[in-house]
C-alpha cells in the first residue's frame, strides 16, 4: 500500500507512515482517503471510491457525531480552517485582532479629585497643557488615598510624562491647582 514519495511538494512527507485509510491514487499519484462512496471510511479501495483528502464543496457538509468526512478546501484547493470561536481581544464587529494601544483620555482643568478609572488598568501618559502651577498626585484607588502611583509638581509649560504603569484598584488623580492636564489610561 505504501509507495515512495515522488511529489516534490511533500518531500518531507513519510509515505511509510500513511494510515490504512489513506492510499496513493494511481492516476494522480496524490494521497487520498479511502471511502465507500458515501463519505464513510472503507478498508477496500475501489477506483472511484477514493476521494481527495481536501474537497471543495460550495456548501460545506454538516456532520453528526462519529461521522467521518473529508477535509474541506476552497476553490483553489487551499485547506479551509477556522477557529469556530473568536479570540479574546478581537474587534468582533470589524473582524480584526487589535494589537494597538487604545487609551481613554480624561481632561482636568481645575483643582479637583478625579476618578479616572475604576478597576485594574494601565496609566500611559499625563500631558500638562498649561494653566496654574500645582501638584498632581495619582493613587491606585477609587479615592484620594492608598498607594501613590506618582506625585510631581508641574509648571505651566507643555510637558508629557510617560508612565506605562499598571494599577489594580482604580486610578484617582488629585490636582492642587487649575493645571490643565489630560490623563491617558486604559
The predicted-structure confidence for 12-36, as pLDDT tens digits, reads as follows: 444 444 444 566 655 566 665 555 4
Asked if 138 contacts 172 with a C-beta cutoff of 8 angstroms, the reply is yes
Half-sphere exposure in the Cβ direction for 65 (13 Å, CA): 0
> What does the alpha-carbon distance between residue 105 and residue 186 come to, in Å, rounded to a whole number?
9
Least confident of 17-21, 76-80, 131-135, 148-152: 17-21
Q: Is 129 helix (H, G, I), strand (E, B) or coil?
A: strand
Q: Which three cell numbers stand for residue 23?
A: 492510499
Which residues, listed in sequence order, are joined to residue 148 by a DSSP beta bridge? Answer: 139
What residue spans of 62-116 are helical by DSSP H?
none
Asked if 158 contacts 128 with a C-beta cutoff of 8 angstroms, the reply is yes
pTM of the model: 0.51
Q: Phi, psi at residue 157, to the nearest 5°?
A: -75, 145
For the stretch 37-86, pLDDT in tens is: 555 444 444 455 444 467 788 887 787 887 767 778 888 888 877 766 66
Which residue would you say has higher pLDDT here, 68 or 152?
Answer: 152
> What does the alpha-carbon distance between residue 117 and residue 106 come to, in Å, rounded to a whole number?
9
Asked if 100 contacts 106 with a C-beta cutoff of 8 angstroms, the reply is no
Amino acid at each position: 500500500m505504501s509507495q515512495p514519495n515522488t511529489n516534490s511538494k511533500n518531500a518531507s512527507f513519510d509515505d511509510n507512515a500513511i494510515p490504512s485509510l489513506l492510499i496513493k491514487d494511481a492516476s494522480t499519484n496524490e494521497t487520498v482517503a479511502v471511502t465507500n462512496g458515501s463519505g464513510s471510511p472503507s478498508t477496500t479501495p475501489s477506483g472511484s471510491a477514493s476521494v481527495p483528502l481536501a474537497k471543495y464543496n460550495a456548501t460545506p457538509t454538516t456532520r453528526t457525531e462519529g461521522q467521518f468526512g473529508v477535509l474541506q478546501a476552497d476553490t483553489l484547493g487551499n485547506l479551509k480552517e477556522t477557529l469556530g470561536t473568536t479570540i479574546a481581544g478581537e474587534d468582533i464587529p470589524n473582524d480584526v485582532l487589535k494589537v494597538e494601544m487604545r487609551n481613554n483620555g480624561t481632561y482636568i482643568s481645575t483643582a479637583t479629585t478625579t476618578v479616572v478609572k475604576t478597576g485594574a488598568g494601565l496609566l500611559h501618559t499625563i500631558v500638562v497643557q498649561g494653566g496654574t502651577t500645582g501638584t498632581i498626585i495619582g493613587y491606585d484607588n477609587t479615592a484620594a488615598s492608598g498607594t501613590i502611583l506618582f506625585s510631581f509638581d508641574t509648571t505651566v509649560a507643555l510637558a508629557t510624562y510617560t508612565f506605562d504603569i499598571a494599577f489594580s484598584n482604580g486610578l484617582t488623580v488629585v490636582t492642587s491647582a487649575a493645571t490643565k492636564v489630560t490623563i491617558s489610561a486604559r
